[in-house]
Structure 1
Amino acid sequence: MGLRQFMIDTWSWLNYKPVMASAGRPGNGAFPELARTWVPPHELRRLAAYKVLASYDNNQAGQLAAAGGDVGALERRELGDAANLVDTALGYLLGSEQKVVVEGAEHADDETPTPGAAEAAAVQERLRTWADKELLTFRVQQAERAAVLLGDSVMVLAWNPQKRRPTLRVYDPGFFFPQWDDEDDDFPSRVHLAWELPADDEAGLKARVRRVTYELGPIAEDVEESDGGGAREYPWEPGWSSNVTCYLTDAEWVLEDLKNGETLDRLPMGKAAYRVRPDGTELNRLDLMIDFVPVVHFANTIPDGGEHWGRSVLARVLQALDELAATDSDSSAASATTGTPIIGLAGARLPVDRATGQPKELEVKAGAVWQLGETGRMDALDTSPQLAELRARVDHLLERIASNSRVTAAGLGTLDATEVPSGYALKLALGPLDALIGMMRLAREHKYRLLFKMVQRLYQAGRAEGWTAGESLPTRLAWAPHTPTDRAAVLEEVVSAFGAGVLSLETAVAMLVEAGYPIEDASQEVARIRAKAEQEAAMRIAETAAQGRRDTDTEDDQQEEKSSSGFMVA
């Protein structure tokens, strides 16, 4: 391999795969779709990496290698280890639940609410209602599994006039083609979503490529704005005029009409067939009346400087998964010879087939009897030691995969419980997993904040009821704990600290929520606790007052009795 062929980039961990070297070449059986003329050359490695990772997830890595010329790969045995690693990491990332949280909403029910707390609580309630209607939990599952497996995922928002709310859709990252300029950071000003549509002979449609483009650009001069032509005041930036808007274009091209060099960002607009909305509007640079691209790209890991793409959880253990599949294949072959051993006979009298006159082939089965001569001998090939070694190697590889992926043996559930002397030792064993999940959640933190900011702005742009002009409130997606917690210990700690006055009630309830207690809304729980405390205090005051009256009455009776006794004596 020459220096010009040695490449280090986001997908360098796949360089050992022979199929990656032939990606995009005409006649390549592994990636025939990458030879299309519309696919940008600089995207070939990324798209090929997605397909390789998807093949591991579906136990088809051997088939993909065979399509690339490795015929022997068809015998490869894949037993779901890659998919299990992805699903395990996904489960720890998501936790038991996710909640939409607006900063400051937890103080709305305080005795003296902080400024803006009531507004934050109202926005939080509306966003949670939107999340329920748009199946946000389900969409997050879709997007995050793609991110954990492939390294990237994409969510797209759009205002729906009929539903009067933003709609949310998850796209395959292989359809996502951002156009980053030198001055762009994480938010490109132009984004393509493109995929092929198969031919439909019955409808008379040829194979096509569909491209949906979001592009920021200056407001057209022929647009009449209330504050002057070519400028617009958006409701989330009152008092500030902007000359930027987002245009949407949705068009199709027939594949056979495209020539070499007419890649995704250079498709001939004269051959485009534009799609039309149900109201008859042609989707050709349609002004969306917003100043942002409603597309959010999620990376599974924090990208390196100058990079934009994430890394799959399988990236650094892919060769170990290959080794594991090869060992499983060898174990299968060894178990066949162990269960049905190879037997050598010497001096045996073989039965003869009367029809052909040839000796019959002997079969190793229960109850078989072979006649041996005086010097006859039978030897069996014992492959059980090799099988035991292969099984030990499987355990070794699983341990390496768990360690190098940082999911850990404890996280994968392969750690023997008898080997853990205490809960503290288990926490130490889960340390790499804690760091992994912390890094993965950090990589998503600002992207979910951006998603909820876009949702609020789309509501404002759609002039939805209850959404007034003003800046969007900071909103995040709160994750549940990714590992089990000692809830009894947390409860004891909270009770002691709150009783000693070193924790506020809000902080104490927040700790219980993080520990996994079934508290739906922290602010409502705080309000209920305070209401109950006030009720109990009132009952104690009333009881004290009643007890005081009883004591007074008793003293009066005693004094009256003494007076009466003195009178009688006198």
Structure 2
Amino acid sequence: MRLRTLVIDAWSWLNYKPVMADPDRPANSRAFPELAGSWVPAADMRRLAAYKLLAAYDSNQAGQLAAVTGDHHGLERRELGDPSKLIDTTLGYLLGAEQTIVVPGADHAGNDKPSGGAAQAADLQERLRAWADKELWPLRIQQAERCAVRCGDGVFTLAWEPAKQRVLLRTYDPGFYFPEWDDGEQDSSEYPARVHFAWELPADPVRGLKARVRRITYELGPIGAATQPGVTEDGRAIREQVVGAEGDPVLTVGDTLDAVTGAVQRTYPWAPGRPSTTTCYLSDAEWLLEDLGAAHDLYSLPPDKASYRVRSDGQVLHRLDLMCDFIPVVHVPNTIPDGGEHWGKSSLGTVLQLLDELAATDTDSASASATTGTPIVSLAGARLPIDRTTGQPLPVRVEAGTVWQLSDSGRMDALDTSAQLAELRQRIDHMLTRLAANTRLTTAGLGSLDPASVPSGYALQLALGPLDSLVGAMRLARAHKYQLLLRMVQRLHQAGQVWPAGESLPARLVWGAHTPTDRTTVLADVVSGYGAGVFSLETAVRMLQEAGYPIDEVAGEVERIQKRAFDQAARLADATGDNAAVRDYLGLPEADLVPTVPLIPTQPGQPASDAVPTSPAQATPLPPVATGRAGAGGVGPS
């Protein structure tokens, strides 16, 4: 490789592979036949080849891929699932025990004097969690995140479904994802103005379908006139402008025309008082491969050859106005991208050669174990059995119960390869230890550390330090992405007019603990900290929830605790003298008003304590007062 051909990019860690050696056209026609199509952009060839190569490692097919590219020993390669184990282990630590949607301020909605917006935050949190339950949120996260850990990138898409009246969450293979930036864009980490999803559909002779390319496009653009489904002269479904009686374009209901600029404006539910001139258009079309030439690629497919799809509600997906000013697609990188970079890095990236060495050692170990279990035997002076038909000695095999008759000077020697097998096993252990160190999963994280060799819990915590930093960096790369996704979910429901309009509230995804937590220590900290008044009850309950205690909702748990906090209620009564506040603290209903014992007016010269009514008419009732001390059921002080 000459210096001029040395390429350093997001996938240069694969340059040692022959299939990736050519920076201009890395796709081998035998290894990657689907990448040989003319519609695949040349700039994306290395990325797509890297995705397929990593998928081969995940499915124990790296040897088959090597055999296709010219390695004659590739089919003999032993692959024992180490790459897949690394992916699944990393994914497990990344996701933690659970994933929870949290809206800041929602836990304080049940307080006596909640902060401004607490009720709105609690309502949004409940809506998001109900939506996540319907859309199988944990399952979708695992689908996308496993792709991200393996390939370096994962993709979520959101789409409003009129029939279900909610947003649908879907995941795509990153090999189908093609973002497009405008000319002159300096930072590709910025959100693209156009996003494509494209893949090839094979021919189906039974149904009479030819090989096709399907492309789904999301594009930001200026708001235009209203459109409706139509048909071209050759029968293709398209969208056409709606015109009025005088032939003028008609605007969508709610849009206005700025008389100064001539631009169409729209006020979205999440931005009241701030008109926007931008919307997102969706197109979903297919092209026959035979209609595409060498000059056509994904970004320049001929529009006159497109066959647009029709949605279930009859809308033609040809620049369909989605009534939102953002692209409902979220790209999730596995790592924090470098400056100006868009793509993440696979968790297998830096240790791929180490995995190759491990597979080669496993192959050698299998060969050595074969000669150790069935050794090679050398015989001298033995009388071998003769084939009576040919008169030639029969092949000799070492089997249980075999007896050879040797002459006086005969000798039998066996080749002992157990020492080589032991050395190969030690090499495998060494490579696994190095693999744990280089991936930062640590031997404790991979489960190969003997628990008896750990002197204390603090020593184990120090051993898991690299794993903590790895998980922290991976979650940091995803924090903003999931905030963006939850904001889009909220706005699409507002655009569908099923959630109340208003400014978008921040929502985030809280990951569970990725390592075992000492619950006893956390509980002791909570008891001492809350008892000393260092932090609130809400914070204490959240600490217990993050430690793994079975607490479904912080606000509900706080309410249940307060209903039984009679000592705190008594102190509240002594401090305020407000019985209504005490009953509200305990979650009790307002007390009914009860009459007090009427006082009998005294007669002249008679003490009030000695007055005894002589008849009911002498008793003058007084206005009733509220009940007394909370929880006692008595009357108030006279």
Give the structure-1-normalised TM-score.
0.92
Structure 1 residue corresponding to 2:468, chosen from 431, 434, 458: 434
Q: Distance in 2 between matches of 1:265 and 1:216?
A: 15
C-alpha distance 378-223 of structure 1, shift in aligned 2 (>3 A): farther
Is structure 2 residue 251 aligned with structure 1 residue 224? yes
1:310 aligned counterpart, secondary structure? coil
The amino acid across from 1:16 in the alignment is Y
Deviation at 1:508, TM superposition (A): 1.1
- Post-superposition shift, 1:186? 2.9
Unmatched runs of 5 consecutive residues or more in structure 1: 543-570
Residue 56 of structure 1 aligns with which residue? 57
The one-letter amino acid of 1:179's match is E
The residue type paired with residue 516 of structure 2 is: P
Pick aligned residue for 1:285 from 303, 313, 319: 319
SS at match of 2:487: helix
Query: Aligned residue for 1:318?
Result: 352
**5 Å matches for 1:331-350?**
331-350=365-384
Pairwise mapping of residues 337-416 of structure 1 onto structure 2 (< 5 A)?
Answer: 337-416=371-450
Which position in structure 1 is the counterpart of 2:487?
453
Please list the CA deviations of residues 213-259 of structure 1 after superposition, one character each: whole Å capped at 9, or x if unmatched. 00000111445153523111111111111111100010000112211
Distance in 1, Cα, partners of 2:544 & 2:307 = 57
**1:129 & 1:537 partners in 2: Cα distance?**
34
SS of alignment partner, residue 73 of structure 2? helix
Match of residue 248, structure 1, among 256, 271, 282? 282
> Identity percentage over the alignment?
65
Q: Is the 8 A contact 1:22 1:28 kept in 2?
A: no
Write the distance in 2 (CA, Å) between the matches of 1:223 and 1:47: 44
Give the aligned residue type for 2:203. Answer: A
**Distance verdict in 2 for CA 1:71–1:126, change over 3 Å:** same
Displacement of 1:281: 2.1
- 1:53-105 CA distance string (max 9 Å, x none): 10111000000111111121110000001100110110111111111111110
> CA 1:540–1:251 in structure 2 vs 1: closer, same or farther (change >3 Å)?
closer
User: Who is 2:529 aligned against?
Assistant: 497
Q: 2:545 is matched with which residue?
A: 513
The equivalent residue for 1:565 is none
- SS of the residue 2:434 aligns to: helix
- The answer on 1:189 being equivalent to 2:193 is yes
Distance 2:19 2:168 in 1: 39
SS at 1:74's partner residue? Answer: helix
Tell me if the contact between 2:177 and 2:197 (Cα under 8 Å) persists in the aligned partners. Answer: yes
Provide closer, same or farther for how the CA distance between residues 539 and 246 of structure 1 changes in structure 2, counting only shifts above 3 A.
closer
The answer for the alignment partner of 1:5 in structure 2 is 5
Aligned equivalent of 1:264, options 269, 278, 298: 298
Structure 2 residue identity aligned to 1:118: A
How does 1:418-567 map onto structure 2 within 5 Å? 418-464=452-498, 467-534=499-566, 537=569
> What does residue 203 of structure 1 align with?
207
**Contact 2:381 2:407 (8 Å CA) reproduced:** yes
The one-letter amino acid of 1:210's match is R
Within 1, Cα distance between the matches of 2:412 and 2:292? 71
Q: State the 1:471 CA deviation.
A: 1.2
Structure 2 distance, partners of 1:450, 1:358, is 80
Cα displacement string for residues 384-403 of structure 1 (whole angstroms, at most 9, x for unaligned residues): 00000000000001001100
* Residue range with higher mean Cα deviation, 336-345 or 27-36: 27-36
1:164 partner letter: Q
Could you tell me how far 1:27 is from its partner in structure 2?
A: 6.3
How far, CA to CA, are the matches of 1:27 and 1:180 in structure 2? 28
Alpha-carbon distance change, 500 to 20 in structure 1, aligned in 2, over 3 angstroms: same
Per the alignment, residue 118 of structure 1 pairs with: 119
1:463-508 per-residue CA deviation (whole Å, 9 max, x = no partner) reads: 11xx222111100011111001000111011111111122211111
Q: CA separation in 2, counterparts of 1:294 and 1:535?
A: 52
Q: CA deviation at 1:204?
A: 0.5
SS in 2 for 1:233: coil
Aligned runs of 1:70-85 on 2, under 5 Å? 70-85=71-86
8 Å Cα contact 2:20/2:27 also seen in 1: no
Distance in 2 of aligned mates of 1:101 and 1:186: 26
SS in 2 for 1:242: coil
Tell me the amino acid that sits aligned with residue 532 of structure 2.
Answer: A
Q: What is the distance in 1 between the residues matched to 2:431 and 2:533?
A: 52
Contact 1:28 1:68 (8 Å CA) reproduced: no
How much does 1:106 deviate?
1.0
CA contact (8 A) 2:27 2:46 kept: no
Supply the distance in 2 between the matched residues of 1:372 and 1:45 (Cα, whole angstroms): 65
1:316-368 residue CA offsets vs partner (Å, 9 max, x unmatched): 11111100000000000000000000111111111111011001111101111
User: In 1, Cα distance between the equivalents of 2:569 and 2:36?
Assistant: 77
Matched, 1:21 2:53: no
SS of the residue aligned with 1:241? coil
- The structure with the greater share of residues assigned to helix is 1
Distance 1:223 1:7, change over 3 A: farther
CA distance in 2, matches of 1:454, 1:502: 37
Asked whether the 8 Å contact 1:25–1:35 carries over to 2, the reply is no
Q: Deviations over 1:38-63 (max 9, x none)?
A: 00001011001101110111000000
Partner of 2:565: helix, strand, or coil?
A: helix
3-state SS, counterpart of residue 508 of structure 2: strand
Q: How far 1:21 moved relative to its partner?
A: 2.4
Cα distance in 1 for partners of 2:250, 2:492 equals 20
| Residue identity matched to 1:310 | G
What SS does the aligned partner of 1:276 have? coil
Please state how far the C-alpha of 1:509 moved relative to its aligned partner.
1.1
Match in the other structure for 1:93 = 94
Over aligned residues, Cα RMSD in angstroms?
A: 1.7
Cα distance in structure 1, aligned partners of 2:403 and 2:177: 67
Give the aligned partner of residue 310 of structure 2: 276
Rounded Cα–Cα distance in structure 2 between residues aligned with 1:540 and 1:304:
56
Residue in 2 aligned with 1:138? 139
2:116 partner letter: P
Q: Which residue of 2 aligns with 1:158?
A: 159
CA distance in 1, matches of 2:295, 2:424: 52
Matching residue's letter, 1:513: Q
Larger mean Cα displacement after TM superposition, 506-515 or 163-172: 506-515
Give the count of matched residue pairs.
Answer: 540
**SS of residue in 1 equivalent to 2:488:** helix
Q: Tell me which stretches of 4 or more aligned residues in structure 1 moved more than 6 Å.
A: 539-542
Equivalent-residue separation in structure 2 for 1:196 and 1:438 (angstroms): 38
Separation in structure 2 between the aligned mates of residue 72 and residue 9 of structure 1, nearest angstrom: 30
Deviations 1:151-186 (A, max 9, x none): 101000000001000000000000000002315643
Q: Secondary structure at the match of 1:361?
A: coil
Residue 462 of structure 1 aligns with an amino acid whose one-letter code is G
